[in-house]
Amino acid sequence: MADVLSLWPRGWSRAAQSSATIALCAALLVLLLWLLALPLSWAPEPIGSNAKFFAEGTRVTVELTIVAGASGVLLGVLAALGKLSPWRPLALLASAYIWIIRGTPLLVQVLFVYFALPALLPALRLSDFASACVALGFNAGAYNAEAIRAGLQAVPIGQREAARALALSPWHAFIDVIFPQAFKVSLPPLVNNLVALLKDSSLAYAIGVVELTNVGNRIQASTFQPVPVLLTSATIYLVLTTVLTQMSNALERRLDVGSR
């Protein structure tokens, strides 16, 4: 698919093209979530009569992705810093978290949070949506941790020495010097993880979350017409991932300081 960045006038600066692309994609995403039921209602049966359910399932899918994606980035930063920590117990704890999450299926993690966790700790009984967010967030955090760790290790040692020479505190050195550069390096794999998270959110149907895949399963079970239902679900997922990819390409271009 063509890059939206190529649609803007060549006289525009890189920052202007990137900002316009991000704004356009954000507006398209909002319009999609708001008006999706309208074009689907024009489709033949069984899609038209179930357009409202597809729209509601799409909104739940996006909500899952946003909540789990944000928590996954935060957990990824903490796990990456923990793994690089000189304090051995913290490094072992972070490594164990990454090893366990990356080594077990996401579906098992979703089922564990919803069914097994309340049995072990009754106070942690969560709703189906909250359980899915927790499982997806922890899963994304483990994969994000490795991407962020690689980004942190890619920052030249001279940058850290320069921060110390300027008498910056460790906190300010990390926030103002190290992390911005590491984030730029980590951005492509982080975006790939976010797109994968959008698709993996379909596993939330296993615990009853009424997201897009669950809606499709219910409609095809009641209408016995799997082809149009699955094609509609796949098309919606494709549109969502395309919008996210275009936004990420624009963000990468805006942060690509070295090629300006």
**pLDDT beneath 50, residues of the chain:** 1, 257-260
List, in order, residues 6 or more apart from 58 with CB less than 8 Å away: 32, 33, 36, 212, 236, 240
Domain range for 177: 4-259
Q: What is the predicted pLDDT for the residue at 47?
A: 94
DSSP state of 182: H
> Within 10 Å of residue 216's Cβ, how many Cβ atoms?
24
**pTM of this structure:** 0.90
**Amino acid at residue number 97:** Y
Q: What is the predicted pLDDT for the residue at 259?
A: 47
| H-helix or E-strand spanning residue 59 | helix 51-83
From residue 196, how far is each of 125, 136, 201, 238 by CA, in Å? 27, 11, 9, 12
CA 138 to centroid of chain Cα atoms:
12
CATH number of the domain where residue 13 is located = 1.10.3720.10
- Extract the tokens encoding 242: 């395309």
Q: What is the predicted pLDDT for the residue at 166?
A: 81
When divided into structural domains, the chain yields a total of 1
| Residue whose structure tokens are 């990456």 | 80
